[in-house]
């Protein structure tokens, strides 16, 4: 198993490199000269020439990639065209905000999903089961940007219970876990949580039903084992897979929160990406995608490793 873990970790390196290459290519496939991703279109010609030389844009593509990678590894993601600030300075705060939102949303989705899925799996075929499955399907099928809009109309505009946008009275920089700030988190979090809720419900329902059907549970039941003990057993067996789903969901939400962040003006990577797209701020676009994808690669790796460590049944050569 140690060997497997080691191989899995090593395998993540070429993947990460290739992901970097895809992000590098984003600027190459963008219409227009890649130089437009570094200097504003109205820059003087001699500045353009100088920058071309500095960035090695006169060199062949592989060399350019090498140079770019060298800078990225050193933490230099370039400068925003719109603001002139280093990409990383804006990105680092945005990542924190998105991570917080995605973590809260996936946790909420996970909890709701476990409850719904557990009930549905235990009482398969009942009304409860149908209701839970219905909610789960609705959760994965709903366009969440639309759900967010509807929530704003109901809870912010009509009822005036919760704020419609932003990350708190002082912005995200002085975030605190008090109601004044948390109330800003509620709507985007609930909106974003419906997807993991749906997926976790389905997964847990399947897992629980499968485990409950296994012969040894039937046997245990026959021996008069208590409900509580059976429950513990089910949890122990379902946990690794459910956690894996949850981990991946966190990654999906980090990448997928762009629409929800746009609806709620949540100062995370999604909003950053959105404004980068509309200002054609390619360095910000590239840097944000790169960091999010790397995060996802790392998360995949961690989930895999944890799953292997937790679940004795998984044996990998």
Residues between 120 and 179 with contacts to other proteins, criterion CB under 8 A: 137-138, 140-147, 149-150, 152-153, 156-157, 159-167, 169-173, 177, 179
Contact 250, 193 (CB under 8 A): no
Nearer to other proteins, 56 or 206 (CB): 206
Separation of alpha carbons 136 and 113, rounded Å: 8
* Distance of closest approach, residue 222 Cβ to other proteins, in angstroms: 24
- Does position 197 interact with other proteins (CB under 8 A)? The reply is no
Which of 95, 104, 211, 234 is in the footprint of other proteins by CB under 8 A? 104
Span 232-251, contacts to other proteins by CB under 8 A: 241, 244-245, 248-249, 251
Compare residues 67 and 162 and give the one whose CB is closer to other proteins.
162
Those residues with Cβ within 8 angstroms of residue 57's Cβ, 6 or more apart along the chain or in another chain: 34, 35, 38, 51, 64
Please pick, from the candidates 4, 5, 19, 56, the single residue that binds other proteins as defined by CB under 8 A: 19
Ramachandran angles phi, psi of 86, nearest 5°: -60, 140
Instruction: Spell out the residues 6+ positions from residue 166 whose beta carbon is closer than 8 angstroms to its own.
Output: 184, 264, 265, 266, 267
Between residue 205 and residue 224, which ones bind other proteins under the rule CB under 8 A?
Answer: 206
Among 4, 233, 255, 310, binds other proteins (CB under 8 A): 255
Site for other proteins in 51-90 (CB under 8 A): 82-85, 89-90
Q: Is 292 in the site for other proteins (CB under 8 A)?
A: yes
Phi, psi of 79 (to 5 degrees): -115, 145
What's the CA angle centered on 36, arms 82 and 292, to 5 degrees? 65
């Amino acid at each position: 198993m140690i060997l497997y873990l080691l191989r899995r970790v090593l395998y993540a390196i070429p993947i990460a490199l290739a992901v970097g290459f895809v992000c590098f290519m984003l600027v190459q496939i963008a219409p227009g000269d890649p130089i437009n991703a570094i200097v504003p279109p109205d820059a003087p010609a001699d500045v353009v020439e100088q920058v071309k030389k500095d960035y090695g844009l006169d060199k062949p593509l592989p060399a350019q990639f090498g140079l770019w990678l060298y800078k990225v590894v050193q933490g230099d993601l370039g400068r925003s065209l719109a603001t002139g600030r280093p990409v990383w300075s804006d990105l680092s705060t945005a990542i924190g905000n998105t991570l917080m939102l995605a973590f809260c949303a996936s946790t909420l989705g996970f909890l709701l999903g476990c409850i719904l899925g557990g009930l549905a799996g235990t009482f398969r075929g009942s009304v409860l089961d149908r209701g839970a499955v219905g909610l789960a399907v609705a959760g994965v099928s709903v366009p969440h940007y639309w759900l967010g809009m509807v929530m704003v109309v109901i809870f912010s505009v009509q009822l005036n219970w919760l704020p419609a946008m932003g990350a708190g009275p002082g912005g995200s920089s002085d975030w605190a876990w008090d109601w004044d700030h948390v109330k800003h988190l509620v709507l985007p979090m609930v909106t974003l949580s419906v997807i993991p809720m749906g997926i976790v419900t389905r997964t847990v329902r399947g897992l629980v039903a499968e485990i409950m059907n296994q012969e040894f549970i039937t046997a245990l039941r026959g021996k008069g084992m208590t409900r509580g003990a059976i429950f513990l057993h089910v949890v122990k067996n379902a946990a690794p897979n459910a956690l894996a789903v949850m981990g991946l969901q966190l990654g999906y939400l980090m990448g997928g929160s762009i629409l929800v962040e746009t609806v709620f003006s949540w100062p995370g990577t999604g909003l950053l990406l959105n404004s980068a797209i509309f200002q054609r701020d390619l360095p910000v676009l590239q840097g944000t995608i790169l960091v999010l994808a790397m995060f996802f690669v790392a998360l995949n790796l961690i989930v895999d490793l944890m799953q292997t460590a937790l679940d004795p049944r998984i044996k990998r050569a």
